[in-house]
Amino acid sequence: MISVSDNLNGLNPALRGAMKKLDPEPIQEIVTAISRAGAGMIDINPGYLPKHSEEKMRFLVETIQAVTTSRLILDSPNPSLIKIGLSVCNQTPIINSVSLEKHKLEGILPLAVERNCDLAILLMDESSFSPPSVEEKISLALEISQRCLKAGMSLDKLIFDPVLPSLSWPDSWHRIGEAVKTIRLLSTGAVFDQPVRTMVGLSNLRSGLKRLYPLEIDLVSLGMLGGAGLEYALVDIFEPRILQLIELANRMA
């Protein structure tokens, strides 16, 4: 299992302030700390950039690369931001993500094909809805992957994300279980003719809810997902217990 830092996101006030001023120092301080913590990769999610977005995305990627050689994940629903990020990446990143949403299939998928990037697939339908059941998730995995294959991608370039819920959702516990089942089916080769890679955003569970729910929920969920064959875990890299669990899971694999 590979730990992916999700600390560089638009909800981080330090990142927001630095992006507004185009000040590299706060960003590089975060990236240096991420590297020291031992992140395997870094997810870059700048959030909504209403003004001069292309300039800011270029600034962000170049600023990060000045202090790390870690592989990056470009994480945005905006194809123009992905395109700018790709143009300045020193090494081929992962693109996160596509779904059945039309603007993503038409705007982001061609970029992944053109640049030969690995591509994360969110198991979400045309309306950005993530269905709860494993059957519905696998159906989406098949449909979206077929779109990607027809566009010129190969199955080994695809990474599937069953989409973890927020714990505020009324059926969140059921959805976590169904996500674990989905990961197991995908990672064992039961769906396709080969095992495929998987990813989850673990921080989705307690986003905005950390005062209500303890870290143990993340740890238990990650343990089940890891046991099911999860490959990429987007996590708060500054939570040492999460990193300890990932290290233990990797030793036992």
pLDDT in tens, 72-118: 999 999 999 999 999 999 999 999 999 999 999 999 999 999 999 99
CB distance 160 to 199 below 8 Å: yes
Which residue in this structure is represented by tokens 């949403």?
A: 101
DSSP secondary structure letter of residue 155: G
Indicate whether 201 pLDDT > 70. Answer: yes
Q: What CATH number does domain 123-253 carry, 3.30.1330.40, 3.40.718.10, 3.20.20.20, 3.20.20.80? A: 3.20.20.20
C-beta neighbour count of 154 within 10 angstroms:
9
DSSP secondary structure letter of residue 195: -
pLDDT in tens, 5-20: 999 998 899 998 999 8
C-alpha closest to that of 5 among 37, 48, 46: 37
pTM: 0.96
Q: In sequence order, what are the residues at sequence separation of 6 or more whose Cβ sits closer than 8 angstroms to the Cβ of residue 222?
A: 202, 230, 233, 235, 242, 245, 246
pLDDT in tens, 137-168: 999 999 999 999 999 999 999 999 999 999 99
CB distance 218 to 242 below 8 Å: yes
Domain ranges in the chain?
4-91, 123-253
C-beta neighbour count of 150 within 10 angstroms:
9
